[in-house]
Amino acid sequence: MPEKKLRVELLTMTPDALELTYAAFRQCYHAGFVADMWPRLLNGDIEKEKQAEFVSKVLESGHDSPIEHVSFTFAVEGISRACSHQIVRHRIASYSQQSQRYVAENDMDFIIPPAIRRIPEARERFEKFMEEVGSAYRDLREILVAAGRESKANEDARFVLPQAAETKIVITMNCRSLMHFFNLRCCQRAQWEVRAMAHLMLEKCKESFPAIFRHGGARCEQLGYCPEADRFACGRYPTLKELTGQK
């Protein structure tokens, strides 16, 4: 049962993402039909730099619904079941997660929280428990198979598996959902594991679609202040209360 490391890969994104976003934004302010403009966009008659500048300026105004037309699909491994439960709370998205019903966990990989990893006695106890869980899972699975539950052994034995169990997941989100995801999960208040994953996703989004995702990240980076209550602020940015001198 080895410890698993985080890995995030961008599988695909909507083709012609900049052109599509530009066309969607333009349709909101253009008297004509953007389908007539579309061939010119694909042919490069309107420079990509001008398209990106237009998209970025409109986005800064707070008008962001047209970016929903573009989506990104990621493959993620090396996260815990605890982390995946946080991810799937973002509802405007699609998920395909590795099933513990159909995939046997005889050699379960796991995730160790950094705070536990840093303390030798905590890590020793954690890893010992992972071994105990793995042994219990294998024993239960063998007992169930012997009792005639072979096709259902995985789904019954998995009840002893911990939240630390490693999982793999495919995630698809549109750009607007991703921006919201990054607002929340790149924040210092986010749990360490989902925050690390969000930052890796954001890096790939910035590389692939900078016109949109140069604005991405924790909410405070866009606002210039921390929108959290004083007791939750990490100190990276002043709170709105501090900024305005409110008491």
Contact assessment for residue 185 and residue 125, using Cβ atoms and an 8 Å cutoff: no
The per-residue pLDDT for range 157-187, each reduced to its tens digit, is 999 999 999 999 999 999 999 999 999 999 9
> Which of the following is catalytic: 26, 81, 176, 185?
185
CATH number of 8-75+167-216: 3.30.1360.170
Q: For the chain, what are the domain ranges?
A: 8-75+167-216, 114-162
The per-residue pLDDT for range 123-146, each reduced to its tens digit, is 999 999 999 999 999 999 999 999
Contact assessment for residue 182 and residue 168, using Cβ atoms and an 8 Å cutoff: no
Residue 219 known to be catalytic: no
The predicted structure's pLDDT at residue 1: 56
The per-residue pLDDT for range 197-225, each reduced to its tens digit, is 999 999 999 999 999 999 899 999 988 89
Question: Rounded to the nearest 5 degrees, what angle is found at the Cα of 17, between the Cα atoms of 15 and 18?
Answer: 140
